[in-house]
Structure 1
Amino acid sequence: MMRLQRRTVAACSSALALALGATACGGGDVAPAGSGGKNLDGSKVAVAGVWSGTEQKNFRKVLDAFSEKTGAKVEFISTGDNVSTVIGSKIEGGNAPDVVMVPQVGVLKQFAQKGWLQPLGKKTEQTVTDNFAPVWKNYGTVDGTFYGLYFKAAHKSTVWYSPDALDQAGVKPPKTYAELLKSSATVADSGLPAFAVAGEDGWTLTDWFENIYLSQAGPEKYDALAAHKLPWTDPSVVRALTTLGELFAGKDLLAGGRPGALSTDFPSSVGQVFGDDPEAAMVFEGDFVGSIAKEEYGRKIGEDATFFPFPAVDGGKAPVVSGGDAAVVLKDGRNRKAAMALMDFLATPEAAEVWAAEGGFLSPNKKTDPSAYGDDTAREIAESLVEAGDTVRFDMSDQAPAAFGGTKGMGEWKILQDFLRDPADPKDTAAALEAAAAKAFKKN
């Protein structure tokens, strides 16, 4: 996915030179600043991940900073979206990378259960304990063992909008979901559909559901449903679907109506709001919407493209749903020492600040300097993520087996697309979700 904007790293580069290997940040094998030593000279580290384009380029800058400090050479291998299959093939072929950037909690658990992962070192673990909210360590832990360092996060509780469109309709960003529905109707009455919905990409529909469910049902039920300890036929699920259905069924609320939404992919949904000929006033998705609005449509973030937090539902707290990429070390990698040193480095705020300065990145590390972010909007979103602390919940579909939560044309993605097509029967949709979840979790 495309991400946020770039800028020159003027402020943080000098600090970076002084502090990349500071032992207070969990430097581990990374040489301390000023030592002049590159204790990993000659080492090679292979890092695999899904990133391509701008994301890969910006992560490469983080890896280059590590290389500059330690002398280790780092190769990046792009896996494409099917990380599990690619990494499995490389392990079987005796060509496993040392480190993998894993984009889903479910995949991290799968790797751990297959015995592919090496527990992370004590210094990395201590840094995470000290500088991250406990929820991030929990999501990187499987059966009591810490395997995954969440280096990059996403904030998936942001509603992006055109200020001009809301101004013309005479509405302000809502604080509650009820206000959102009311404002959406007012926008539609002004002649512009309220929302662009990327129904062709089923993952966006899971994010709609998750934000409503987390706020309406609360974090305990969210956790239980994510682990399938609560059935999808539970009344709380039916209630959340009913709430979502009010938006989907609203008159003139969706660009192109429900059929149009079902044929709209995610990048196009952003264009429907921020393109030259707007078709909607708002689009819900993560912080990365800003990147597309800026890079593809020339919008100035914070002025003609901005956001408000996903509003609280039925008296609950405003949700903060996140996603993220966890760094893990493979047992079959060839250079464990250098891999663990890279982990120590990625746990530091200095590593996060390299990418934060470039845009399209959020760090869950509380010690990351907010001034490293390239603009006020990115800074506000990053601070919101950190301030949410342990109330953050990881994308529910990313925690599920892929057959249920992460496969096009199957499971939750397909069932919620069917619900968008016809939101008249939330109970029937809940039953379909439960049947699919039960099957997928049984096989997992």
Structure 2
Amino acid sequence: MSGQPTRPAFRVALAGTLGVGLAFSLAACGSSDDTKSGGSGASAQAIDCSPYTKYGDLKGKSVSVFASIVTPEDQAYKDSYKPFENCTGVTIKYEGDKSFETQVLVRAQAGNPPDIAIVPQPGLLKQLVATGKAVPASPEVGANVDKFWSKDWREYGTVDGKFYAAPSGASIKSLVWYSPTFFKDNGYQVPKTLDELKTLTDKMVADKKIPKPWCAGISSGEATGWPVTDWMEDFVLRLSGPETYDKWVKHQIPFNGPESTAALDAVGQYLKNPAYVNGGLGDVKSIATTTFQDAGLPILEGQCALHRQASFYAANFAKGTKVAEDGEVFAFYLPGKDTASKPLLGGGEFNLAFADRPEVKAFQQYLSTDTWANVKASVSQGWVSANKGLDISKLGSPIDKLAATLLQDPAAVFRFDGSDQMPAAIGSNAFWKQATNWITGQDTQTTVNNIEKAWPK
């Protein structure tokens, strides 16, 4: 969706990343020759270069990487490349640009693409492949994806039957933030089904221990409305299932069909119910004027108990806030219809190549390994991956560990954010605007009808 205002979906998750330079001295590999090639000598902690020998001697070669992640969040990426650089001799030239979504397309169309692009949306990936400049992934990358990711993830890196890009990082959106202390003090249990979530909310209303159970906010500049789209996507996924969700995203069923109507009405039971919202912030309409960054903060003030938002929301709590199962605030999985189903809504990145030089193929392969995932986890905060080889103990925070545990759950069925896959006229325009109108009083049927009318013919 280039050229459109970018909502803080996966990119916000990266804003929580601490560019931990850690003088982590992955910079040195285990031999004296490796140290001479750029390590930090005696101050560096030697690492085993044996996992890198399969990539060969790449001294004198370079690989360019282009991404949306900029300073200081890009430092953790650069640090994660150091073992590969020092053990193979290659140089990785990283470039971050806030206008990445627009510029990467311009560069590809002009015949000047990077060697590797870190692509944050399946829709953009398809557009880049359509330029004819992208290169299908090697069999080695495909084998790694088959080993370390679910079929859902491989499908998002596939265009017209050809596999192009391995997944990289991921974020989970199917979470509800809450106060563990408030739950413990009042005997509340984390719900395991949607019915239990509704029952819990009603009990909070009846108990009157808190002004309102839920707090919410959808204001986000030109992207105002996007949090409602996440709510709705979660409920389409839960009420109608992943296959119907896929059809809905691809417009194989109409946006104003019964599936959409049921999902938005289900969201309305929470967001448009004056008994449920908007704790510490106002009435239902205040949701439209409350920024998404501020929306969950009343949990810490005892004004609300529940806030549906992604794993990246942890970055919005003040420094020093304990975000943990025994802390001031934490999150639980937004449950499915029953305990047997585990739908997960989220976002992620994909490593797409535009060159098939040996060094580029080798680096793309490295990025698809559990080796890279664990190095990246060791130098980051606020970053997780759906890579099954990721050692969760390496993750820096309880919320990261929760997200990774959900992503690695064999029962989980992952689906990428729907609006990020829809045409820009819908996903970053009509859907946002009509969702905002819905919050401020427009009825469900008018809302879904208006979005359907806006769908490109």
- TM-score computed with the length of structure 2 as normaliser: 0.83
How far residue 388 of structure 1 moved from its aligned partner, in angstroms, is: 4.3
Check whether the contact 1:212–1:313 (CA below 8 A) recurs between aligned residues. Answer: no
Is 246-255 or 221-230 further displaced after alignment? Answer: 246-255
- Kept in 2: contact 1:135–1:389 (CA 8 A): no
Q: 2:247 & 2:151 partners in 1: Cα distance? A: 18
> How far 1:107 sits from its partner (Å)?
0.7
Q: Does the Cα contact within 8 Å between 1:359 and 1:373 map onto a contact in 2? A: yes
**Is the 8 Å Cα contact of residues 386 and 407 (structure 2) preserved in structure 1?**
yes
Alignment pair present for 1:323 and 2:353: no
Aligned partner letter, 1:58:
A
> What is aligned with 2:424?
402
2:257 match? 234
Q: Summarize the alignment of residues 30-41 of structure 1 with structure 2, pairs less than 5 Å apart.
A: 30-31=55-56, 39-41=57-59
> In the TM superposition, what are the counterparts of 1:12-91 in structure 2 within 5 Å?
17-18=47-48, 21=51, 30-31=55-56, 39-80=57-98, 82-91=99-108
2:430 corresponds to? 411
Q: Which residue of 2 aligns with 1:35?
A: none
Q: CA deviation at 1:63?
A: 2.1
Instruction: State the shift of 1:178 in Å.
Output: 3.1
Alignment CA distance shift 1:199-1:175 (3 Å): same
**1:121-153: CA deviations, max 9, x gaps?**
111111111221111111100001111111111
Q: Which amino acid aligns with 2:16?
A: R
Tell whether the 8 Å contact from 1:4 to 1:292 is kept in structure 2 after alignment.
Answer: no
Alpha-carbon spacing, 1:118–1:389, altered in 2? closer, same or farther (3 Å): farther
**Does structure 1 conserve the Cα–Cα contact (< 8 Å) formed by 2:171 and 2:347?**
yes
Which whole-Å CA distance do the structure 2 matches of 1:390 and 1:194 have between them? 27
Residues 215 and 327 of structure 1: CA distance in aligned 2, closer, same or farther (over 3 Å): same
What secondary structure sits across from 2:405 in the alignment?
helix
Cα distance between partner residues in 2 of 1:344 and 1:127: 8
- The CA deviation at 1:119 is 0.7
Contact 1:5 1:374 in 2 (8 A): no
Residue 370 (structure 2) pairs with residue 349 (structure 1) = yes
Q: Which moved more, 1:206-215 or 1:58-67?
A: 58-67
Partner residue in 1 for 2:34 = none
Tell me if structure 2 keeps the 8 A contact 1:310–1:319.
Answer: no
Pick which of 163-172 and 143-152 moved more: 163-172
Q: Does 1:290 align with 2:314?
A: yes
Show the 5 A alignment for 1:90-109.
90-91=107-108, 95-109=112-126
**Which secondary structure state, in structure 1, belongs to the residue aligned with residue 16 of structure 2?**
coil
Question: What's the C-alpha RMSD, in Å, of the aligned pairs?
Answer: 2.9
Q: Please, what TM-score do these two structures have when normalized by structure 1?
A: 0.85
Cα-to-partner distance string for 1:70-91 (whole Å, 9 max, x where unaligned): 22222222221x4332113334
| Aligned residue among 164, 167, 190 for 1:147 | 164
Confirm or deny: 8 A CA contact 1:198 1:261 kept in the other structure.
yes
Do the aligned partners of residues 140 and 413 (structure 1) sit closer, same or farther apart at CA in structure 2, a change above 3 Å counting?
Answer: same
Deviation of the 1:184 alpha carbon: 2.9
Equivalent residue letter for 1:282: L
Partner of 1:272: 298
Contact 1:55 1:360 in 2 (8 A): no
- The residue identity in structure 1 corresponding to 2:102 is T
How far apart are residue 222 of structure 1 and its match? 0.5
Code of the residue aligned with 2:405 in structure 1: it is: E
2:268 aligned with 1:245: yes
CA distance in 1 between counterparts of 2:101 and 2:397 reads 35
Preserved CA contact (<8 Å) 2:19 2:72? no
Gaps of 5+ in 2: 1-11, 31-45
- Which residue pairs with 2:39 in the alignment? none
2:242 match: 219
Give CA-to-partner distance per residue, 1:231-284, whole Å, 9 cap, x none: 11221111111111111121242242233211222222243334xx45432221
- The Cα offsets for residues 192-216 of structure 1, whole Å up to 9 and x where unpaired, read as 3322323114222111111111111
Counterpart Cα distance in 2 of 1:421 and 1:329: 44
**Residues 49 and 87 of structure 2 are in contact (CA less than 8 Å); yes or no, is this contact kept in structure 1?**
no
Count of paired positions: 416
Q: How big is the shift at 1:19?
A: 6.1
Change (3 A) 1:41 1:272: farther
Q: In 1, distance between residues paired with 2:285 and 2:114?
A: 44
Cα 1:200–1:41 change in 2 (3 A) is same
Query: Helix, strand or coil: the match of 1:288?
Result: helix
Percentage of identical aligned residues: 26
Would the aligned equivalents of 1:128 and 1:347 in 2 still touch at CA under 8 Å?
Answer: yes
Q: Residue type of the partner of 1:55?
A: E
Indicate the residue corresponding to 1:336 in structure 2: 357
Q: Is the 8 A contact 2:68 2:101 kept in 1?
A: no
Most deviating of 201-210 and 147-156: 201-210
